Every structure is written in structure tokens, then in C-alpha cells.
Chains A and B, each alone.
Chain A
């Protein structure tokens, strides 16, 4: 879509709250919530596109940046007003249980989140690569007017792309809920890593983003082992800035794509 959504982290936060409330009020397991959350947040995404994004999707970058920033402020403070700023936890019965795979001991919730995230990424990748709708999305991203001339309903494709993005963010939130505390501003710390991975990989390059995410994770782990856990976030942020200075298109992105502002 060529729109950077600065409210992405807030939808992730909403996903985490959805898991928290389903667990607290209905005693629903977060992984069960996922089944309901996916269509729900798809609808939320579609609605937010129709209401907020549609009028500005073809305007300048600054308008887009500040519209999504405004959306992020609204959602953050809505969560603050409705659910207070307290950090909340989802304490499942299997919280703290571990599994051991080939000698490596993993937290069960983290292992499940990892497996589901890999599955979701693979599914999304396959969808974008091989499905007809995925093809339409890529065509629209590459050249909107050409896509429109070929009879693609680009407005619908944009709404669909936006809704899929929101659904993915919320799904990530549901999966993270059993591992991390939920509070209104939780989105930033996750979404910053996501931006870094995407920019490192090259915007719009899914395989690149996946490899970059692994690089970020490796830097984080190696950094906390050698320099100390207190400095690990600093390391990947500095790496990020260094990459932007040296190779702004990202590791795998097409050279020059960043100055076009894509």
C-alpha cells in the first residue's frame, strides 16, 4: 500500500487486551480467542480503513503519517480511559510450564507463539505469492494506475491490504498476551522492532523482513550475552541507524526505493 501505519502497535495492543479480557471475563484460552479475534480484527481493520484511511490514502506522506499517528493517540488513550494504565497479565494454567526440544528448554507460550507466528508468516507469504488476490495486491502496490487500468478495484484492494495488516498485528498481540504484560503504550516497543525489521529487509519485501527479523533477534541475544542485557535494545537501534546511513534501502531492498519515499 506504501502507507506506513504508525498505529500498528496500537492494534497489537488491542489484540493483547482482547486476549486479556476474553481470558479474565470468559476464561477463554488465548489460543481459542485467536479464532474469534481474526475475523473481528479483520472487520475492525476494514472499518478503520473506510472511516479514516480511505480519504487520505492518495494524499502526501505527511498527511498519512499524522493521520495514523492521530489514530495511535486515540487508541492509546481510549485504552487508558477504558482499562486504566495498569499492567495486566494473562496467567494461563500452563504459565511457566516449559518444553524441551533437543536439549533447548523453551517456555511453552513462547514456543507456541513462535510456531503459530511462523505458520502465519508462511501462510501470508503463500497468499501474497500464489493466490489471485495476493497478485492483485502486489500489482496495486507496484503501480496503482496501471492496476486500475487493468480493471482491478484498487480501492477494495487497499481496504483488504489494510485489514489484513491490522489482523496480523492483532493476532501477534493475542499470541504475545500470555508472555508479556498488557498496558496502553505496550505497542511501541514491539512495533519499533517490527519497523526495524521491515526497513532492514527492504519495505514490501516479506522474505527480506523475515531474514532481518532473525538478524535483529540475533543482535539482541548476542548483545545481551556479551555487552549486558541492559544495552541490548540500544544495540539494534544503533544497528538500525547505521544501516539507514549506509544502505537506506535496507539489506535486500531495491537501491533508491527509500528516496522515492515509496
Chain B
């Protein structure tokens, strides 16, 4: 229980904070922190637990964002459907990447994931008739819970808190369950895991698909919250890096790393921190603190 105490306290504090804090800026920050934290957690399922380092996760995030935005703009249906559609599309894309992960290792896989996100970026910014091209889509604001047009930031905090909780529980599951341990075995030594009868390939594909689906849900909620989808942003390598950095600085394969991107460091310091981290504390801050 001790290991989860910190996380429980964090979630409880985040859930109560909007009741205590009236400041719109702080509430806004909290919503975005929870969205980015969930996205980092989603990345961590593939990158940390399955060991499939991807720098193309913005592909899934962007799919979710576009699915939610297009549901409102093109078909006039609830963006909640966008969550589902985006999640399904991203899982399908995740399976493609998962398939690649069975054929490629190390830097090859990383380059392939960047290529996939670039394909979606180019597709979204060039297919003007459907995605409105590189100028992006403003998401229409329709008041009501069902259409996710919510002006009250407190409700937003609770919606994204629910998402963060689900992502966190998925990570706890991976830390405690038999499947999670099998996945860790695949990450540490795939050949050894295969020889012990672990279905390594299927596990990796499923892990990446789940990670992709969560990323898409983050993207869909982000699009509805921020109100604008820009292909050059939602599919960018920078965004993929942000997910990866938050998870790594927090600690690869540790569920508590979730809130770590609270460190609002400037990007140069981020880069230096990354170089220093992987050199001296490859377990991340949480791992480093636990080792003390």
C-alpha cells in the first residue's frame, strides 16, 4: 500500500483542488497537466513497460484529436464518439507499429515510428477536403456534457482525472499482473522470454495498441478542451518527444512517473536533463529516489 500512497494522495489532491482553488489559470494548468500526464503514462505502457521506445506517439494523439474534432465538424455527432473512433483508429495504427516492432529493434524502430507520425502529419495537412489542411480545424463549442462543450473547468478536471486514473491503473496492472511481468521479461530479453514460452510478439502488439488507444483518448479530450486542432502540432515529433521525456524523467516503467512533467523546465534544460538522466539515473527520478 505504501508504494501507492503517493499516487493516491496525488489523485485525491487533484480531485479536490478545483473545489478549493478558484483561480482559472491554476484550474487550466491542472487540466493540461493531467492530460499531458496521461499521455506520458500512455507512452510509458509501450515505451517503459514493453520497452518499445517510440518517438511517433503524436501519431495516435493526433488521430484522437482529429477524430473528436471531425465528429463535430463533419458529421455533427458527439465528440464522445470521437473518443471511441479515435481510440479504435489509433489501436489499428498501433497494431501496424506493433507489427513493425516485431521486425525492427533499437534505432530502426524509433525511425519507423517517426516515419509513421510524419505520414499522418503530411496526410492531415494535405487532405484539404476532409481535414481542412494545414490551417487546422477550430472545434465548435456546443454547450452540454454530451457535446463536451463544458465551460466549467472543474468538470474538465474531473473528466481528465478519470482518464489519468484509468491510465495509472493500467500501469499498476502491468506492475503486478502475470502479463505485466511477462511484458517486462520481453523488454529485458526478448529471446529468453520467447524460449520460456512467453507470447512475446502478441504481448508487444497488444501493449502498443493499448498505449495508442490511451494516447488517442488524451488527444480527443485535449482537442475538445483547447478547441483547435493544428496538424503541424498534434502530429509533431516535438509532441512525441514531450510524452517520452515526461515518462523518462519520471522513470521508465514506473507508474508514479505520471505527474513528473510538473517540472516546468525550459527545453534546453530539458535536453541537458535528459542527457544527464540517462547517463546517471536511467531508472528515472522515481527509481533514483527509491534506490536512495
Contact B114–A74 (Cβ < 8 Å): no
Contact A71–B271 (Cβ < 8 Å): yes
CB under 8 Å from chain B, chain A span 244-258: 244-245, 248, 258
Stretch of B12-20, B100-108, B218-226 that contacts chain A: B100-108
Q: Chain A contacts of B106 at CB under 8 A?
A: 4, 61-62, 65, 261-262
Shortest beta-carbon distance, B240 to chain A, in Å? Answer: 10
Docked pose: A53 CA to B192 CA in angstroms: 30
Contact A233–B275 (Cβ < 8 Å): no
Contact B122–A4 (Cβ < 8 Å): no
Docked pose: A6 CA to B108 CA in angstroms: 12
Residue B53, interface by CB 8 Å? yes
Contact B278–A261 (Cβ < 8 Å): no
Which residue of chain B has the shortest Cβ distance to A247 in the bound complex? Answer: B103
Q: Chain B contacts of A70 at CB under 8 A?
A: 270-275, 278
CB under 8 Å from chain B, chain A span 101-131: none
Interface residues on A, range: 35 or more
Flag B94-136 by CB within 8 Å of A: 1 or 0 each: 0000011001111110111011101100110010000000000
**Interface residues contributed by chain B, number (CB under 8 Å):** 38
Other-chain contact of A234, B100, B112, B122, B241 (Cβ < 8 Å): B122
Residue B289, interface by CB 8 Å? no
Other-chain contact of A56, B51, B53, B237, B278 (Cβ < 8 Å): B278
CB under 8 Å from chain B, chain A span 219-247: 230-231, 233-234, 237-238, 240-241, 244-245
Docked pose: A201 CA to B125 CA in angstroms: 29
Contact B275–A244 (Cβ < 8 Å): no
Residue A133, interface by CB 8 Å? no
Flag A62-84 by CB within 8 Å of B: 1 or 0 each: 11111101111110111001000
Q: Chain A contacts of B244 at CB under 8 A?
A: 66, 69
Other-chain contact of B107, A65, A73, A196, A241 (Cβ < 8 Å): A65
CB under 8 Å from chain A, chain B span 257-277: 266-268, 270-275
Q: Chain A contacts of B241 at CB under 8 A?
A: 69, 73
Residue A188, interface by CB 8 Å? yes
Residue A192, interface by CB 8 Å? yes
Other-chain contact of B119, A52, A62, A241, A262 (Cβ < 8 Å): A241
Residue B282, interface by CB 8 Å? yes
Contact A234–B123 (Cβ < 8 Å): yes
CB under 8 Å from chain B, chain A span 17-67: 52, 55-56, 61-67
Docked pose: A203 CA to B107 CA in angstroms: 11
Flag B52-86 by CB within 8 Å of A: 1 or 0 each: 01010000000000000000000000000000000
Show 7 A/B contacts (Cβ-Cβ < 8 Å), sorted by A: A61-B107, A63-B282, A69-B244, A70-B271, A74-B272, A231-B126, A248-B104
Known contacts A56-B279, A73-B267, A244-B104; 17 further A-B pairs (Cβ under 8 A):
A4-B107, A4-B111, A52-B275, A61-B107, A63-B282, A65-B107, A70-B271, A70-B274, A71-B271, A234-B122, A234-B126, A237-B119, A241-B115, A248-B104, A259-B103, A261-B107, A262-B106
